[in-house]
């Protein structure tokens, strides 16, 4: 069974600054996928970024990037130039090749003006 740990229940950052959200996981599988999802207040959960475990290159989507360390089983999310709209709960998720997902407990991020 997989486990996903997000050790930061809450974080805050000033607008325009950079913040990093931590995520570690445990698995015995070699092929898998990692995701970060964003759940804004009272809005639908949406995908932020994904990473294939077999790819060494870290994924990047505009202001969002990951630091994927496969050996350390670490998958942190960096948000650059934080915006007020980034305020949300962020979930790290592990997904097997068969499509079974395990979510972390979430990190509530507040971007302050």
Partner 1 sequence: EADIYQTPRYLVIGTGKKITLECSQTMGHDKMYWYQQDPGMELHLIHYSYGVNSTEKGDLSSESTVSRIRTEHFPLTLESARPSHTSQYLCASSETGGYNEQFFGPGTRLTVL
Per CB under 8 A, 50 contacts partner 1? yes
Per CB under 8 A, 24 contacts partner 1? no
Complex with partner 1: residue 17 or 52, whichever CB lies closer: 52
Q: Can you read off the two tokens belonging to residue 66?
A: 């990951």
Complex with partner 1: residue 55 or 63, whichever CB lies closer: 55
Per CB under 8 A, 15 contacts partner 1? no
Q: Can you read off the two tokens belonging to residue 102?
A: 């395990």
**Sole window of 15-23, 43-51, 60-68, 70-78 interacting with partner 1 (rule: CB under 8 A):** 43-51
Per CB under 8 A, 70 contacts partner 1? no
Complex with partner 1: residue 25 or 32, whichever CB lies closer: 32
Residue selected from 31, 56, 57, 62 as contacting partner 1 according to rule CB under 8 A: 31
Q: Can you read off the two tokens belonging to residue 18?
A: 């950079």
Query: Minimum distance from CB of 10 to partner 1 (Å)?
Result: 10
φ, ψ of residue 63 to 5 degrees: the values are -80, -5
* CA within 13 Å, CB half, 108: 3
Instruction: Write the burial class of residue 50 (CB in 10 Å: 0-12 exposed, 13-18 middle, 19+ buried).
Output: middle
Residue 35 to residue 101: CA distance in whole angstroms: 10
């Amino acid at each position: 069974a997989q486990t996903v740990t997000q050790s930061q229940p809450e974080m805050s950052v000033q607008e325009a600054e950079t913040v990093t959200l931590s995520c570690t996981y445990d698995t015995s599988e070699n092929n898998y996928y990692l995701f970060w999802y964003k759940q804004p207040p009272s809005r639908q959960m949406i995908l932020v970024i994904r990473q294939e475990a077999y790819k060494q290159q870290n994924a990047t989507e505009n202001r969002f990037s990951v630091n994927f360390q496969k050996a350390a089983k670490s998958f942190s999310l960096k948000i650059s130039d934080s915006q007020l709209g980034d305020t949300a709960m962020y979930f790290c998720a592990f997904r097997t090749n068969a499509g079974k997902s395990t979510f972390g407990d979430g990190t509530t991020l507040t971007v302050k003006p």
